[in-house]
Amino acid sequence: MTIPISVGATGLLGWKIVQRTEARQIETVARDPVVQRSTAYFRDNIDRVTKAEELVKDYRLLSTALSAFGLEGDIANKAFIQKVLESDISDKSSLVNRLADKRYLRLAEAFGYGADKPAANLAETVSTNFVQREFERRIGESDENLRLALNARRDLQEFAGRESSERTLWFEVIGNQPLRKVFQGAFGFSESYGRLPVDRQLEEYTKAAKRLLGSSDFKEMAKPENMERLVQTFMVRSQLVDAPVANRYSAALTLLQGGRDGN
């Protein structure tokens, strides 16, 4: 059993506390015996696994691998994960390239079973990702919005270094449920936007990004000040939805002040 991480506040204040204490909290998670056993087992055993079939048969290895990419919910979907891992990432028509959620592609790229070429430093990459994701998971047990914010910050930083087109990256946002929730929340979109034709969704998302951040380009959005504005707006809007009526006035005032500051 793991202990959730509670920062003692929600909304924008909670986000600021997380930022201030994050490094220390991650170190604490990394020293947790449960986490250390998981990462040590992965480091000690992953080199003997040469096929996707072998990985999915080892529950402990698979659990750590999936958790490192935010896919722990797929632990029971072994046949599907095996197909993902065996997909040819160089073939645009392969299963992993056709999936809207590109976390599966990141998983397949790291292990490289479809290309017979695992990523360099696989054990280190997975272990580091696992600790970061475990920190986010424990934060999320107390406040799911904080977990979503941390996830969005990490994903946007990764997007900025990619060579994909802006259109491709926006479709990745739309197909990635945790990331989409942050953009939806920050832009004030309802769940009904997800039922629009995908090209219309793309149009609405890019227009909203330009209004809030001044650009729909991911390299611009990944700049610290823009990323922070996106996350803070998401946290404040979430507080408006989740907070008791008595606390909504201050959240609404913060949102209005943020809008004026951005003009």
Q: 74-104 in b/e burial notation, b at 16+ Cβ within 10 A?
A: beeebeebbbbbbbebeeeebbbbebebbbb
For position 242, what pLDDT does the model report? 65
Q: Which of 188, 178, 191, 177 is nearest to 148 (CA)?
A: 178
For position 240, what pLDDT does the model report? 84
Residues of the chain with pLDDT under 50: 245-246, 259-260, 262-263
Question: Where does the chain hold its CATH 1.10.3700.10 domain(s)?
Answer: 22-129
Query: What are the helix (H) ranges across the chain?
Result: 11-31, 33-45, 52-57, 59-68, 78-86, 95-98, 103-111, 122-142, 144-160, 166-175, 177-187, 198-213, 218-221, 224-242, 245-261
- Structure token digits, residue 176: 């990635």
For position 73, what pLDDT does the model report? 95
For position 160, what pLDDT does the model report? 82
- Structure token digits, residue 227: 């990323």
pTM of the predicted protein model: 0.84
- Structure token digits, residue 245: 């009526």
- Structure token digits, residue 225: 């000040």
For position 254, what pLDDT does the model report? 54
Fold of 22-129: AGR_C_984p-like (1.10.3700)
